[in-house]
Amino acid sequence: MSASTSVSRKYFGTDGIRGRVGQHPITPDFWLRLGWATGRVFASKGRAHVVIGKDTRISGYMLESVLESGLAAAGANVSLLGPMPTPAVAYLTRTLRADAGIVISASHNPYYDNGIKFFDGDGNKLPDSVELEIEAELDKTMSCVESDQLGKAQRLPDARGRYIEFCKATVSRGFSLRGLRVAIDCANGATYHVAPRVFEELGADVIPVGVSPDGVNINDQCGSTYPAALIETVREYRADLGIAFDGDGDRVIMVDHNGETIDGDDLIYIIARHRQAAGSLQGGVVGTVMTNFGLEKQLQAHNIPFCRANVGDRYVLEQLRSRDWQIGGEASGHVLCLDLTTTGDAIVAALQVLVAVVETGSSLAELCSGVEKMPQTMINVKVADPSSVADNAAVREAVTDVETQLAGRGRVLIRASGTEPVVRVMVEGEDGAEVADFARQLAHVVETDAAGGPVDALAARR
C-alpha cells in the first residue's frame, strides 16, 4: 500500500484546489479572499503582476471576476487571458515576466466542478512553502490597499496567437504534417480554439471534435477521459490517427488508425524510444506508482532507465529535475518534455509523438507494439475521509493477503485521490480475471471497513 507524503495543507491538494461549485471552497466569497491572499504573498516585494487563464466552464466567469477583485484589493495587477490551456498559462506567465500564473479549471472533471492551479514566475507549479504562505494569509482578516495602490486588470488580446506560435516552435522548422489526416478532440475545453490551428498550420488535414463549448459540455462524452467519440470519428473519416485532450489541455491520449486507444504510457514509450534512436534522450523516464509494469519492462529491455514517483505531475517533475532527465508522465496522459516546456503540455507532447510518426514513417500502432500491458483493474471508492484509509487495519490486512496470493506476479496500490473524495484501489498482475477479482475484494473492504458502510464504487479497467 502506498501513501503520498507531503506537507499538511488545509486547502491545497496535489494539484491546487478543486471541488463542487457552490460548495466550500469553490464559492465566490472564498475566492475573493483567495485572490487577496495570493496578491498579498506575491506583492510582498512590490506590486505584483498575475496572469489568469481559465477553461470553458460556465462558473469560470464568476470565479475569474471575484479572483480579479481580490488580487486588485491586495494591489496586484492582472492580465486576463480568457479560455486558455493550463500549459499556455504557464508559458505566458514566464514570457510576460509575471510574478505568478493562475488557471481556473477542474481539468477532466464535469462542468459543475471547478478549481484553481498556480504557477510561479518561471512557469513551474508552486512549491508547498508558497501554498502554505497563501493559506496563512487566508486566515487573516481581509483588507484593502489605499486607492492609489489598487491593482489594474487588462485583457491580453493576442494570448492565443502567442501560444500557437510557441507550440509550433517545439518542432523543427522543416517539420510538416502534410498528408496526415488527424482527428482532434478538444473536449469542448480550453484547447478548442488553439489545438486545431496548431495542427492545421503544420499541414495536417484536421477533423475537429469537441470544439463547441457552451459552458456545460466540457468533458461531456468527449475528450481524453471518453475516447469513444474520437474512436468513432477516426473510423468514420478513415483518419491516420486521433488526438484527445482533456478540459484544460494538460492531458493527451491518442487513437491509432484501427481505433485502438494509445494511453500516456504508450506515448511516453514512443517519445523515449524515438529520442533514444536519434541519440537525443537525456537520462531515462519517470513514471508513477500507477504506471503499467509493461512499460517499465519494455524500457528496461532497451536499456532506458526508469523510476516511479507518487501520482501527480508535480511529483514526476520533482524526480525528473533531481535526476536531470527530461521525459516522464502518467498513463492518464500527463506527459512532460522538460527540454521544451516547464509543465505537462498535451499539444507539445502530441507533436513529439507525431515527430516519431513522420520521421520513422510508422503508424502509432507500430511504434508502441513492443509494450505488452499487464492487466490492471482500478476501482474508485467514494469515501468521506480518503486519507484515513492508509491507517485502517482491515485494509492493510486485506492488502497483505492479496499480495501473498499474487506471490510476486503482480502488485497492489491503494491511495487517496488528490483531486476527488475517493480511494483508488488498483491491482495489476498476469491474470486479468484474477486481478479484477482481487480489486473487487479490496474495494469491498475499503467500502465496508474504511468508509463506514457500502458506498458507490466506480470501476475503470485497462
One DSSP character per residue, 11-38 reads S-BTTBEEEETTSTTSSHHHHHHHHHHH
Residue 298, Cβ density class (10 Å: 0-12 exposed, 13-18 middle, ≥19 buried): buried
Which class does domain 180-262 fall in? alpha beta
Instruction: Output the DSSP codes for 432-450.
Output: HHHHHHHHHHHHHHIIIII
Give the global pTM.
Answer: 0.90
Segment 350-380, tens digit of pLDDT: 999 999 999 999 999 999 998 999 999 999 9
Single out the catalytic residue among 59, 79, 107, 224.
107
Average pLDDT over residues 319-337: 97
Residue among 442, 433, 434 nearest 380 (CA):
442
The confidence score (pLDDT) of residue 452 equals: 52
Give the H/E segment covering residue 376: strand 376-382
Bridge-based pairing state of the strands 252-255 and 241-245: antiparallel
The confidence score (pLDDT) of residue 31 equals: 98
Assess whether 2 carries a catalytic annotation.
Answer: no
Which class does domain 264-345 fall in? alpha beta
Q: State whether CATH 3.40.50.720 applies to domain 17-149.
A: no
What is the rounded distance in angstroms from the CA atom of residue 361 to the CA atom of residue 350? 16
Segment 404-434, tens digit of pLDDT: 999 888 899 998 887 678 899 999 999 999 9
What is the rounded distance in angstroms from the CA atom of residue 327 to the CA atom of residue 86? 19
The answer on pLDDT for 315 being more than 60 is yes
Helices of type H across 251-345: 264-278, 293-301, 313-323
Task: Number of helices (H) and strands (E) in the chain: give both, helices first.
Answer: 14, 19
pLDDT-based confidence at 2, cuts 50/70/90?
A: very low
Domain ranges, ordered by start, for the chain: 17-149, 180-262, 264-345, 376-461
Higher pLDDT, 78 or 13: 78
Whether 17-149 shares its CATH topology with 376-461 is answered no
Task: Report yes or no: 339 and 91 within 8 Å, Cβ to Cβ.
Answer: no
Task: Report yes or no: 75 and 43 within 8 Å, Cβ to Cβ.
Answer: yes
User: What does pLDDT average to over the chain?
Assistant: 93
- Does the N-terminal peptide bond of residue 25 adopt cis geometry, omega within 30 degrees of 0? yes
- CATH fold group of domain 376-461: TATA-Binding Protein (3.30.310)
Higher pLDDT, 73 or 15: 73
The set of residues, in sequence order, having a beta carbon less than 8 Å from that of 387 and lying 6+ positions away, is 416
What is the rounded distance in angstroms from the CA atom of residue 330 to the CA atom of residue 22? 31
Segment 177-226, tens digit of pLDDT: 999 999 999 999 999 999 999 999 999 999 999 999 999 999 999 999 99
Higher pLDDT, 309 or 128: 309
